[in-house]
Amino acid sequence: MSLAMPAPDQAVLARRERIVAALRAIVPGEGVIAAEREMRPYESDGLTAYRQLPMVVVLPETTAQVSRVLAFCHAEGIKVVPRGAGTSLSGGALPLTDGVLLGMAKFNRIREIDLANRLAVVEPGVTNLAVTEAVEHAGFYYAPDPSSQIACTIGGNVAENSGGVHCLKYGMTTNNLLGCELVLMTGEVVRVGGKHLDAGGYDLLGIITGSEGLLGVVTEITVRLLKKPDCARAVLVGFASSEDAGECVAKIIGAGIIPGGMEMMDRPAIHAAEQFVHAGYPLDVEALLIVEVDGPRAEVDHLIARIEAIARSCRASTCRVSASEQERLLFWAGRKAAFPAVGRISPDYYCMDGTIPRARLPQVLKRMRELSETYGLAIANVFHAGDGNLHPLILYDANKPGELERTEKFGADILRLCVEVGGVLTGEHGVGVEKRDLMPAMFSEADLKQQQRLKCAFDDKGLLNPGKVFPTLHRCAELGRMHVHAGRVAFPDIPRF
Amino acid sequence: MADTVQPRDARDVEAAVQWALAEGKTVEIVGHGSKRAIGRPAQTDLTLDLSALTGVTLYEPEELVLSAKAGTPLAEIEALLAANGQQLAFEPMDYAGILGGVAGRGTIGGALAANVSGPRRIKAGAGRDHFLGFSAVSGRGETFKSGGRVVKNVTGYDLCKLIAGSWGTLAAMTEVTIKVLPRPETEQTLLILGLEPARAVEAMTCAMGSSCDVSGAAHLPAGVAGRIAADEIAAGAVTALRLEGFSPSVAERARTLEALMKPFGELATAEAPRSRAFWTAVRDVIPFAADRSNLSPLQDERPLWRVSTAPSRGAELAAMIAKGAQAQTFYDWAGGLIWVALGASDDAGAALVRRAVAATGGHATLIRAPASVRAAIDVFAPQDGAVAALTKRVKESFDPKGVLNPGRMWAGV
């Protein structure tokens, strides 16, 4: 592992036993884990290439405990890494050797379901899917649906601003929240939002969402609920080229249609998925689109007909409309199994997550094929086509010396390519440690410093999840320094009135 | 009267803020000034007029994105989008009616800085939900950017959210990128006549809890409804539910919704043109528009509050306020947004409104009141200790010397 993390604080490590004892006084019983063997499950998250044992694992059960743990760590200068279910694909929950790993799994209760106001108040350790399961008897659901939704938690979703296949139409996590309770690194408990829309002041909820656990620890979240659409149907469309598929996507959106989901797969991904789940995907195509529309029956039927016509006008070689709910789910089964399907044909795979302006897709795919040859590593692509979020899967074998390092270089090249064509480093997986050192490809030093100044407003000592998101750590005092040239700046030559 | 400078480009903006920093001066940021009368009155040394930073710099309808200089007129952007069958889904309201200004003014930067929205807020979100990226000059006199030009992005902190609704207190935006969406093919509105507010909230809750995909839910009590339209609306209270989308879909949902609403009262339907006019009036709070019969329309400064609460508590909140004062109210956002017009008083009714909001949860903003009142009381929701301290630290992280719009939201911020 070539990743440079913040230098361990030897003074903290030297006090480890006293620190563990103090934490046990705050979180009694089995809530503090200090034995190496028992800490093993926490050494990595979904980005398993990186592993690190924490100094100690703490599993609080109440906001008061979280507050006391953070206040203690703040006073003692101890780093803290928050963790939900540990499904991050960017290493957001990677522990620090001199840090407390703060696991929020015990915050697993749904506190309130308020269907009149179409919301639920949940603890951060509740899984994404559990929210929907708790309200679906009444026909409601929670819209953001990251593919890890069985396991990933709402707290983690808030930290990462998680998306999913439906976010072009229904938004990401940030568009589906109303409020939260947040514990700052000092132990202060702050309530933001509530059951109403919009903040009364600065949109602190908006800035906490997607902050990757660097600003505070969320202990309660109020999420919006939506009524389930009456029905959904999907169309499976094959194309002889990714250009044709891209044109079809552009024309669907150009026709004023925002599908509930619109996914694209390239030839290697289609073949891997078909071999795995036998979804009936055509194997003689270069690109496959799954377009799903949801809503009342009349709307769905109307739009399916329009999408079919658009697909044919874009030279679709195959076009199948789901005739039953079973068939619709089968169309999705292949897409949803694309990652494990690729896992079957390769010992390991590395999942990337850039976003590009959709029109640049053919160019990006072509360049990726060239890179694939250069690096001697195969690649398969799945793509949230509606919003331009690309998930290239690089196939590699970690047991072959040097192959992981080559894979990481290839991945970095892909992300730089995304930025070059006007896109971004990450669409939904987060920066974490994975893309941290690529941040300067997208942001200037001034951009990054302003973001870090904001972090200082929440965490003056830089103790919360340091080493994530930002490639260079600066002390808050240094970031705050101003060079004001009192009386020495001439009034600029600007039109005056 | 403060000096006004009108930067020609982003570099001018940076130079002006750097000059202010060096001289220890404060700066008020304005676009068209259409929302200038909202907030605590500005007492700044220099006015930075961004209305010359204009022009759409990127528009790709099929990518659903548009970038523009911050001073670009909102009307110009909306016209360009309409010509391409698209719109700003957050339905930005025009404050001209209630503040007595000229209709159709306002810039995209101002709309985002105030995080404006409209009746569609309940379905499509506010400005914040469509704000993808920006360039700006911080109160440190430094140019920085955040976000991007794609609709899905989690790279770095989402500073767009923070800048939206910060009323120019953190940074002066110079260019913005927003998500744009298809304009619905058609719309119609189902009207339920004669309901009391509590019953109207029940009807709206029922509609919002259906799969009819209602994109506007408002209740205008008797006496308020008549200020929007003639005919059956004028006669009494009106509860309105908007359906938008493709024609076959709107037709099917209208049938479902009618069946659902029948038990609540007498129904009527407003077809597309009337529906559009109705929702524009709701959006712009026309029932409480400034009185233009007066020779100087700006003289109309009768207090007007904008209150956001849990929809189910809306009627209760309005009733609490009405107990303590002569109040006129109407409801948007299915009961969650309440516009409250009060008679003139020393505190514009703040004590009463804040007490009611404390009981139901939510927040209240004093949108219209004489400058002397706005200088004396909290215009934005007062904050508790920890949030107030955090707010101040956030302000200082962008603007440590308090150069930009100081005190616009709260004293000392």
Model confidence pLDDT, tens digit, residues B10-47: 999 999 999 999 999 999 999 999 999 999 998 899 99
Mean pLDDT of the region A313-342: 94
Residue A193 CB neighbour total at 10 angstroms: 24
Strand-by-strand arrangement of the A119-122 sheet: A110-114, A119-122, A217-224, A177-183, A189-193
Looking at CA atoms only, how far is residue A209 from chain B in angstroms? 8
Looking at CA atoms only, how far is residue A32 from chain B in angstroms? 28
| Chain B residues touching residue A468 (CB < 8 angstroms) | none
Interface contact flag, A424 B155, Cβ < 8 Å? yes
| Chain B residues touching residue A198 (CB < 8 angstroms) | 115, 117, 121, 126, 128, 165, 308, 363
Asked if B251 is an interface residue toward chain A (Cβ–Cβ < 8 A), one would say yes
pTM for the model: 0.97
Q: Nearest-CA neighbor of A382 among A371, A393, A373?
A: A393
Residue A89 CB neighbour total at 10 angstroms: 24
- Helix (H) or strand (E) segment spanning residue A288: strand A287-295
Q: Nearest-CA neighbor of B251 among A293, A227, A298?
A: A298
Mutation pick from B157, B214, B333, B366 vs chain A, by most beta carbons of A within 10 Å, is B157
Which residues are CB-contacts of B141 (< 8 A; sequence separation ≥ 6)? B14, B17, B18, B20, B21
Looking at CA atoms only, how far is residue B113 from chain A in angstroms? 11
Mean pLDDT of the region B42-67: 95
Mean pLDDT of the region B61-85: 97
Residue listed under structure tokens 């789940």: A277
Interface contact flag, A196 B182, Cβ < 8 Å? no
Give the span between the Cα atoms of A18 and A20, in whole angstroms.
5
Interface contact flag, A207 B21, Cβ < 8 Å? no
Interface contact flag, A457 B397, Cβ < 8 Å? yes
User: CA angle A451-A452-A458, nearest 5°?
Assistant: 100
Looking at CA atoms only, how far is residue B289 from chain A in angstroms? 23
The pLDDT value given to residue B299:
60
Contact A256, A267 (CB under 8 A): no
Side chain identity at B175, as an amino acid letter? E
Interface contact flag, A488 B61, Cβ < 8 Å? no
Looking at CA atoms only, how far is residue A406 from chain B in angstroms? 24
Q: Tokens representing A410? A: 């290839």
Cα Rg of chain B, angstroms: 21
CB burial class (10 A; 0-12, 13-18, 19+) of residue A413? middle
Looking at CA atoms only, how far is residue B255 from chain A in angstroms? 11
Reported ipTM: the value is 0.96
The pLDDT value given to residue B42:
80
- Helix (H) or strand (E) segment spanning residue B316: helix B314-324
Buried b / exposed e along B73-94 (16+ C-beta atoms within 10 A): bbeebbebbeebebbbbbbbbb
Looking at CA atoms only, how far is residue B41 from chain A in angstroms? 17
Give the span between the Cα atoms of B375 and B368, in whole angstroms.
12
Give the span between the Cα atoms of A122 and A472, in whole angstroms.
35
pLDDT value at B55 more than 60: yes
Looking at CA atoms only, how far is residue A254 from chain B in angstroms? 5
Furthest C-alpha separation in chain A? 75
Q: Tokens representing A389? A: 């979020």
| Chain A residues touching residue B65 (CB < 8 angstroms) | 357
| Segment A198-221, tens digit of pLDDT | 988 999 999 999 999 999 999 999
Strand-by-strand arrangement of the B3-5 sheet: B3-5, B46-49, B27-30
Half-sphere exposure of A316 (CA within 13 A, CB side): 22
Interface contact flag, B210 A227, Cβ < 8 Å? yes
The pLDDT value given to residue A494:
87
Contact A189, A67 (CB under 8 A): yes
The pLDDT value given to residue B177:
98
pLDDT over 70 percentage in chain A: 100
Give the span between the Cα atoms of A451 and A430, in whole angstroms.
15
CB burial class (10 A; 0-12, 13-18, 19+) of residue A345? middle
Q: Nearest-CA neighbor of B7 among B136, B186, B96?
A: B136
What confidence category does residue A333 fall into, taking pLDDT thresholds of 50, 70 and 90?
very high
Interface of B with A in 279-318 (CB under 8 A): 308-313
Mutation pick from A113, A115, A117 vs chain B, by most beta carbons of B within 10 Å, is A117
Q: Which of B153, B157, B308 sits opposite A451 (nearest CB)?
A: B157
Q: Nearest-CA neighbor of B317 among B378, B364, B348, B359?
A: B359
Interface contact flag, A198 B145, Cβ < 8 Å? no
pLDDT value at B291 more than 70: yes
Give the span between the Cα atoms of B59 and B76, in whole angstroms.
13
Give the span between the Cα atoms of A213 and A215, in whole angstroms.
6
Q: Which of A195, A358, A435 sits opposite B310 (nearest CB)?
A: A195
> B184 to chain A: nearest residue by CA?
A256
Contact A97, A54 (CB under 8 A): yes
Q: CA dihedral defined by B370, B376, B377, B380, rounded to 10 degrees?
A: 70
Residue listed under structure tokens 């920890």: B386
Interface contact flag, B155 A194, Cβ < 8 Å? no
Phi, psi of A288 (to 5 degrees): -125, 135
Looking at CA atoms only, how far is residue A171 from chain B in angstroms? 8
Q: Tokens representing A464? A: 């919360």
Q: Which of A299, A301, A357 sits opposite B63 (nearest CB)?
A: A357
Helices (runs of H) and strands (runs of E) counted in chain B: 14, 18
The pLDDT value given to residue B366:
97
Mean pLDDT of the region A406-411: 96
Side chain identity at A275, as an amino acid letter? Q
Phi, psi of A127 (to 5 degrees): -75, 155
Cα Rg of chain A, angstroms: 24
Give the span between the Cα atoms of B405 and B136, in whole angstroms.
15
Half-sphere exposure of A435 (CA within 13 A, CB side): 31
| Segment B80-113, tens digit of pLDDT | 999 999 999 999 999 999 998 889 999 999 999 9
The mean pLDDT of chain B is 94
Give the span between the Cα atoms of A272 and A266, in whole angstroms.
10
| Segment A356-401, tens digit of pLDDT | 998 899 899 999 999 999 999 999 999 999 999 999 999 999 999 9
- Sign of the dihedral defined by the CA atoms of residues A358, A444, A199, B283, in that order: negative
Our measurement of the distance from residue A420's CA atom to the centroid of its chain's CA atoms, rounded to an integer in Å, reads 21
Interface contact flag, A211 B157, Cβ < 8 Å? yes
Interface contact flag, A427 B129, Cβ < 8 Å? no
Q: Which of A200, A228, A296 sits opposite B381 (nearest CB)?
A: A200
Residue positions counted in chain B? 413
- Sign of the dihedral defined by the CA atoms of residues A120, A124, A126, A131, in that order: positive
Furthest C-alpha separation in chain B? 67
Give the span between the Cα atoms of A439 and B186, in whole angstroms.
44
Mutation pick from B21, B47, B90, B153 vs chain A, by most beta carbons of A within 10 Å, is B153
CA distances from B329 to B116, B118, B305 (A): 20, 17, 9
Q: Which of A171, A359, A496 sits opposite B129 (nearest CB)?
A: A171
Contact A474, A452 (CB under 8 A): yes
> B409 to chain A: nearest residue by CA?
A201
Mean pLDDT of the region A87-110: 97
Q: Which of B3, B253, B311 sits opposite A496 (nearest CB)?
A: B3
Mutation pick from A189, A191, A203 vs chain B, by most beta carbons of B within 10 Å, is A203
Q: Which residues sit opposite A218 in a β-bridge?
A: A182
Contact A318, A240 (CB under 8 A): no
Looking at CA atoms only, how far is residue A370 from chain B in angstroms? 25
Looking at CA atoms only, how far is residue A234 from chain B in angstroms? 17
Measured between alpha carbons, how far apart are the two ends of chain B, in Å? Answer: 22
pLDDT value at B332 more than 50: yes
Q: Tokens representing B374? A: 């706005």
Contact A157, A171 (CB under 8 A): no
| Chain B residues touching residue A174 (CB < 8 angstroms) | 129, 158, 161
Side chain identity at A169, as an amino acid letter? K
The pLDDT value given to residue A2:
66
Q: Tokens representing A55? A: 């100094």
The pLDDT value given to residue A397:
94
The pLDDT value given to residue A470:
97
Give the span between the Cα atoms of A237 and A249, in whole angstroms.
11
| Chain B residues touching residue A254 (CB < 8 angstroms) | 61-62
Q: Return the DSSP state at A48.
A: T
Give the count of Cβ contacts less than 8 A between chain A and B: 318
Mutation pick from A121, A198, A294 vs chain B, by most beta carbons of B within 10 Å, is A198
Side chain identity at B374, as an amino acid letter? R
pLDDT value at B298 more than 60: no
Q: Which residues sit opposite B190 in a β-bridge?
A: B241, B269
The pLDDT value given to residue A1:
46
Interface of B with A in 13-42 (CB under 8 A): 15-16, 18-19, 21-24
Interface contact flag, A358 B164, Cβ < 8 Å? no
Contact B278, B240 (CB under 8 A): yes
Contact A127, A153 (CB under 8 A): yes
Contact B270, B241 (CB under 8 A): no
The pLDDT value given to residue B297:
46
| Segment B230-277, tens digit of pLDDT | 565 667 999 999 999 999 999 999 999 999 999 999 999 999 999 999
Q: Tokens representing A352? A: 């990337």
Side chain identity at A161, as an amino acid letter? N
Side chain identity at B278, as an amino acid letter? F
pLDDT value at B409 more than 60: yes
Give the span between the Cα atoms of B225 and B223, in whole angstroms.
6
Interface contact flag, B150 A447, Cβ < 8 Å? no
Interface contact flag, B394 A160, Cβ < 8 Å? no
> A259 to chain B: nearest residue by CA?
B182
| Segment A253-281, tens digit of pLDDT | 999 999 999 999 999 999 999 999 999 99
Give the span between the Cα atoms of A349 and A381, in whole angstroms.
12
Interface contact flag, A451 B213, Cβ < 8 Å? no
Mean pLDDT of the region A85-97: 96
Higher-pLDDT residue of A488 and B409 is B409
| Chain A residues touching residue B154 (CB < 8 angstroms) | 160-161, 163, 172, 210, 426-431
Asked if B412 is an interface residue toward chain A (Cβ–Cβ < 8 A), one would say no
Ramachandran quadrant class, B404 (left: phi over 0; alpha: psi -120 to 50; beta: rest) = beta
| Segment B383-406, tens digit of pLDDT | 989 999 999 999 999 999 999 999
Q: Which residues sit opposite B306 in a β-bridge?
A: B339, B365
> A354 to chain B: nearest residue by CA?
B153
Q: Return the DSSP state at A8.
A: P
